[in-house]
Structure 1
Amino acid sequence: MELRQLRYFVAVAEELNFGRAAARLHIASPSLSQQIKSLERDLGVRLFERDRRTVALTAYGETLLPRTRALLEQADDLRRTARGFAVSEPVRLGYVSWRPADLEERVSGVARLLVDAWVMPSHTQAARVADGSIDLAICWVRATDLAEQQLAGRLVGVDQLYAVSVGYESSVRAQDTVVLVDADTATWSSWNIYALEFARSTGASVERIDDHGITGPAFFDHVRRLGRPVLSSPKRDATPWPSGITRRPVVDPVPMWTWSLVSRWDEASPAVLAAVEALTRDVVVDFGAAPYWLPGDDPFRPGALTYQP
């Protein structure tokens, strides 16, 4: 029996769905199922009743769940105490628009994470790590940026970008899309760099704007005005989708946007290093079989999941 298997048991018990639990744990569903079966063999009891449609705790599972949670909390507390994290300064993390949904859960037991409330552009967050304002940042960076600012980056997530248009829902070739480039480089520097290189590489059209319409209501206004599929940025936005506006897959190639967990290359804090390891250790990204596109200076092109100058 391993603590890892006990964490798997708790995740499945909370989700009551192997697929969701596997996604939460960042492992494959078949592997999770095998680990649960192995745990059941070690314990000598059946923890779950499962069929093709449902998963339910058995009476044994119901009884063991609170004790398992308590045991895991004791293990986490022991780890915090042993490593001195209980009295250490918190690890300060900034982000742009995306962060893992289970961010705090991943670092539980190894560091006290303080998520910075200031949501800033990628280049700004990377610079804040370099000057020591924060310890870590989840942002988009190029290999050149990492080298120039003496930063290390590890892959923590990937977005597959899509196009937005009026009416159609079918896939669209990259060369038939439009990319928006905003005049405000203080806010949209990273996106502008990505968009312009994407256009040069694929033949997509460039539309220059000055109203921050990369996201928000102005973005949908541009989609209507242009009458062509417009590539959407990875910037999360709560604006409701207007009626008649659709999302379309982009193909030949598929545009991918990588998210890096950035730290200082000479970082010596055990808490920061432990947080980096916890947040990236089990990250598995499948770019798929279809041709995809990454910028030429992306630090995570095929075969490279970490970068350090």
Structure 2
Amino acid sequence: MELRQLRYFVAVAEELNFGRAAARLHIAGPSLSQQIKSLERDLGVRLFERDRRTVTLTAHGETLLPQSRALLEQADALRRTARGFAASEPVRLGYVSWRPPDLAERVSGVAQLLVDTWVMPSHTQAARVSDGSIDLAICWVRATDLAEQELSGRLLGADRLFAVSAGDESPVRARDTVVLVDADTEAWASWNIYAVEFARATGAAVERIDDHGITGPAFFDHVRRLGRPIVSSPKRDATPLPRGFVRRPVVDPIPVWTWALVSRQDELRPAVLAAVDALTRDVKVDFDPATSWLPADDPFHQA
């Protein structure tokens, strides 16, 4: 016997019509009839007398109806209590450089979200979730990372990457761009992995640097030095675009960087699970897989 079957029983008892009850429950009429028969078998009694025109409660059905309503109300009260607990539990979230602008609104009434002020690289944030330092992280991960660290990842957002160069804003082919790879693998491990694979897949050039010029003024110095369009990383940067420089769409293919909401595979806390659902529900990205590029090990490659 399942709570779902009791809800079906109560609906039919109140409507005394299988068609109306099915419409109210948003299920097919034959499915409703089968569930009621299954419930009757489990209980060992008939709940309804029915013919082609009428449906009536049996004496057993009349007796069990108020008890079924009471059980359903207890179940609903339990859910409301659990939601109340979840809404008061702190959920610690770390991020790299991007987070949804409506982050707090999405989890309002679901969990008490505490956004960690330490902005760290993607691989570091994923490791912090794995070791329990934080509960959730918004970061870039590979399917391999998720498996090795026993993590789960849900798609939260995606960035289309652009190239920066002097001149006009016309699109530039991926093979005509440059990607920077920094010697500091502790800070730039995720970007280096992405950039090298992008270059191998598209024919873009790789320029190895050791000055953290993936972002900031040093990045624009590299654009001037090389005189070629350089793909900009997804790392948010407050440095203004220098005069004469433009952001150019990269095409053939379009490089896409995904942001995952990462949690532990064995996570059981209701507040954390509720926050994950609230943050990733109805997430959509508008990139055509026929024209976009993601690393082969991106967990959302087939999404």
Q: Give the TM-score category using the shorter length.
A: 0.7 to 0.9
Report the alpha carbon displacement of residue 203 of structure 1 after superposing the two structures with TM.
0.2
2: CA distance between counterparts of 1:269 and 1:82? 11
1:136 is aligned to: 136
2:202 is aligned to: 202
CA contact (8 A) 1:80 1:111 kept: no
* Uncovered stretches (5+) of structure 1, i.e. residues with no partner: 1-78, 304-309
Identity %: 80
- Which aligned pairs between 1:57-96 and structure 2 lie closer than 5 A? 82-85=82-85, 88-96=88-96
Query: Structure 1 233/87 Cα, relative in aligned 2: closer, same or farther at 3 Å?
Result: closer
1:230 is aligned to: 230
1:186 is aligned to: 186
Secondary structure at 1:84 match in 2:
helix
Query: Structure 1 214/81 Cα, relative in aligned 2: closer, same or farther at 3 Å?
Result: same
2:30 is aligned to: none
Task: Give the number of aligned pairs.
Answer: 226
Query: Structure 1 87/290 Cα, relative in aligned 2: closer, same or farther at 3 Å?
Result: closer
1:254 corresponds to 2:254: yes
Query: Structure 1 160/147 Cα, relative in aligned 2: closer, same or farther at 3 Å?
Result: same
2: CA distance between counterparts of 1:296 and 1:135? 27
Query: Structure 1 85/118 Cα, relative in aligned 2: closer, same or farther at 3 Å?
Result: same
Secondary structure at 1:180 match in 2:
strand
CA contact (8 A) 2:91 2:271 kept: yes
CA contact (8 A) 2:86 2:271 kept: no
Secondary structure at 2:132 match in 1:
coil
The AA in structure 1 aligned to 2:251 is V
- Which aligned pairs between 1:5-20 and structure 2 lie closer than 5 A? none
* Uncovered stretches (5+) of structure 2, i.e. residues with no partner: 1-78
Report the alpha carbon displacement of residue 89 of structure 1 after superposing the two structures with TM.
3.3
| Cα deviation code 1:228-272 (max 9, x no counterpart) | 000000000001111001000000000000000000001000000
- Which aligned pairs between 1:19-58 and structure 2 lie closer than 5 A? none
2: CA distance between counterparts of 1:80 and 1:206? 55
CA contact (8 A) 2:155 2:283 kept: yes
Q: Normalising by structure 1, what TM-score?
A: 0.71
1: CA distance between counterparts of 2:167 and 2:290? 25
Secondary structure at 1:98 match in 2:
coil
1:103 is aligned to: 103
2:173 is aligned to: 173
CA contact (8 A) 1:254 1:290 kept: no
Query: Structure 1 299/105 Cα, relative in aligned 2: closer, same or farther at 3 Å?
Result: same
The AA in structure 1 aligned to 2:271 is A
Report the alpha carbon displacement of residue 86 of structure 1 after superposing the two structures with TM.
6.6
2: CA distance between counterparts of 1:141 and 1:285? 17
2:28 is aligned to: none
Report the alpha carbon displacement of residue 169 of structure 1 after superposing the two structures with TM.
1.1
CA contact (8 A) 1:85 1:110 kept: no
Q: Normalising by structure 2, what TM-score?
A: 0.72
CA contact (8 A) 1:80 1:110 kept: no
1:158 is aligned to: 158
1:270 is aligned to: 270
2:6 is aligned to: none
1:218 corresponds to 2:218: yes
1:281 corresponds to 2:260: no
1:112 is aligned to: 112
